[in-house]
Amino acid sequence: MSLTLSDGPLSERRGDRVNYRIDGPENLLFANTFPRRVRAVVAGETVLDTTAGMLLHESGLLPQLYVPEANLCGDCFQPSEHTTVCPFKGVATYRTLRLGDRIEKNAVWDYRAPPSGASWMQGYVALRWDAVDSWFDEDEEVIGHLRDPYHRVDVRRTARRIEVYLRGQLIARSSAAVVLSETGLSNRYYLPPDQVRADLLHSSPTETICPYKGTASYLSGEVGSEMVDDVAWRYREPLDEMAIIAEKVSFSHPLIEVFADDELVDS
């Protein structure tokens, strides 16, 4: 995400604090080799297996894995009449996944005649992430999407006094939080659960998946007679490298204000 989203160098909102100029189209493409084996599995059958994949970074989009045609299960995909046109990559031709009773329309696409600026895409195909049951990076199952090698997540303990307000009501205060810095995003402060007003926070059915942190479950906030949906979240069982944030609570919402040592921070 650091290259293509937020204010990354290939994003539409890339910053102007540079001493260079990018002479190219509005939509930028950049591909690099993905360094590990990747597999996709449907109903126990491997439909993609590659050690030669490439990640395509494109302005405004998450990186997309493309693999050599030979790395697909040839018998599992059938031609589709569906096509789309990209002004930067050309005409995309699609195929449908058929495996037993499983049918996923237009699950695979490729650019058979890409323009000269993207000729290196010829012979590569992409598989829609949600068309399969499981993805594996080597032997580790992947959630959300493959990790971007240009994306970082750093977590540090902080003794700064963190205070969180919902509509002016104090709902959390801590001097033992951790600050999580993630490429392209504002800092997030994670507070110990015993330093959060648990009586004012209630479980929400909302969940999100982050390939760098795990599955987040959300909390709604109570202020007076009003319930404000999804003002906070926590990772009950984060990925191993993010164990420090387990059960800690972080906040972000238009009605939330977060202060660090009395300084309002972007929440």
Q: Quick check: 80 and 96 in contact, CB under 8 A?
A: yes
User: What number of helices (H) and strands (E) belong to the chain?
Assistant: 0, 22
What CATH topology corresponds to 153-265?
Answer: 2.170.150
In this prediction the pTM is: 0.87
How far apart, in Å, are the Cα atoms of 188 and each of 97, 136, 260?
Answer: 40, 29, 11
Tokens of 207: 């969940």
Residues of the chain with pLDDT > 70: what percent? 99
The pLDDT of residue 37 is above 90:
yes
4 or 128, which is more confident: 128
The pLDDT of residue 253 is above 60:
yes
Q: Quick check: 102 and 47 in contact, CB under 8 A?
A: no
Q: Where are the domains of the chain?
A: 29-142, 153-265
Q: For residue 74, what is the DSSP state?
A: G
Q: What is the pLDDT of residue 14?
A: 73
Edge to edge, what strands does the sheet with 201-210 contain? 153-158, 177-182, 188-191, 249-251, 226-234, 214-223, 201-210
8 or 263, which is more confident: 263
Same fold, 29-142 and 153-265: yes
- pLDDT per position as a tens digit, 168-222: 999 999 999 999 999 988 999 999 999 999 999 999 999 999 999 999 999 999 9
The pLDDT of residue 1 is above 60:
no
Angle 35-37-42 from CA coordinates, rounded to 5°: 140
Q: What is the pLDDT of residue 5?
A: 78
Mean pLDDT of the residues in the chain: 94
Q: What is the pLDDT of residue 146?
A: 94
The pLDDT of residue 28 is above 80:
yes
What CATH topology corresponds to 29-142?
Answer: 2.170.150
